[in-house]
Structures are given as C-alpha cells and as structure tokens.
Amino acid sequence: MNRSIQILESPSQLTHATKDEFYQSVQSKAKTAAGWIVVDLGNVDFIDSQGLGVLFAAHKVAALCHKELVLLAPQPGSIPLM
C-alpha cells in the first residue's frame, strides 16, 4: 500500500490565540488522500493547555478520517510545568 505523508508546520506558540487556525489546517489535511499527517513541532517554544487540547482534537479528526497523526521534533521545555 502506498501511503503519502503531508507535513504541517505548527506555529511557534500553540495557544488559545493560534488553536483555531491550526485546527482548520489539520482538518484540511485530513480530508486529502494522505495516510499520515506529520505535525512539525520543531519551532514550537510554548504550548498552553488549549494548545495541548487542539493536538488531541487533531488526533481525533485524523483518526476519524482514517489518517495517522505524527508529532515530529517536540521541543523540551515547550510545555511549562506549574
């Protein structure tokens, strides 16, 4: 089986302010023929609780579309410990 890969770059801060646009991008990618959606977290320097929530929602929408969501290069320290 030939499965393609689509790469989606995350904003540098995955927060309440950026979650809606990011989620729309995931939905758009999930509707295509790609087998994998790779979210590049290499440039992310901060993720808040809503950013984590949108990653879970992205996984769910990908699964519903029979796609796999893969997180690439998560950065240590991008999620603050409080």
- Residues 31-66 pLDDT 10s: 886 689 999 999 998 999 999 999 999 999 999 999
| pLDDT tens-digit series, residues 1-39 | 456 888 999 999 999 999 999 999 999 988 886 689 999
Order of strands, sheet of 5-9, starting from the edge strand that comes earlier in the sequence: 5-9, 36-40, 68-72
- What's the pLDDT score for residue 33? 64
Superfamily of domain 5-72: STAS domain (3.30.750.24)
What is the torsional sign of CA 55, 58, 63, 69?
Answer: negative
Residues with Cβ < 8 Å from 75, sequence gap 6 or more?
41, 42, 44, 45
Boundaries of every domain in the chain: 5-72
